[in-house]
């Protein structure tokens, strides 16, 4: 997976969003904590992913909200 990209993977029946940030990989729950949007389909900007449903931003390193 190229740097700056994300994708949805499944592990043990659970959907995860996997991101490549300059060669370091981070995984968070694919469901956005705000409204359940698919974070793996969101745009990655540095270490932050924007949920494609409502634009809420999350740090892929910690899962913390950035709004």
pLDDT tens string, the chain, 67 residues long: the values are 899 999 999 999 999 999 999 999 999 999 998 999 999 999 999 999 999 999 999 999 999 998 7
Taking the model in full, what pTM does it have?
A: 0.89
Distance separating alpha carbons of residues 19 and 47, to the nearest angstrom: 9
In whole angstroms, how far apart are CA 46 and each of 18, 31, 32, 50?
Answer: 14, 20, 18, 11
pLDDT at 67: 74
- Domain boundaries 5-59, corresponding CATH code: 2.102.10.10
Distance separating alpha carbons of residues 29 and 26, to the nearest angstrom: 10
Domain boundaries, the chain: 5-59
Q: Which residue has the tokens 């359940």?
A: 36
Distance separating alpha carbons of residues 4 and 17, to the nearest angstrom: 13
């Amino acid at each position: 997976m190229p740097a700056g990209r994300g994708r949805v993977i499944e592990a043990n029946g659970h959907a995860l969003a996997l991101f490549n940030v300059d060669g370091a990989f981070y995984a968070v729950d694919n469901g956005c904590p705000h409204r359940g949007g698919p974070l793996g389909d969101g745009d990655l900007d540095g270490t932050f992913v924007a949920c494609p449903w409502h634009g809420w931003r999350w740090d892929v390193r910690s899962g913390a909200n950035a709004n």
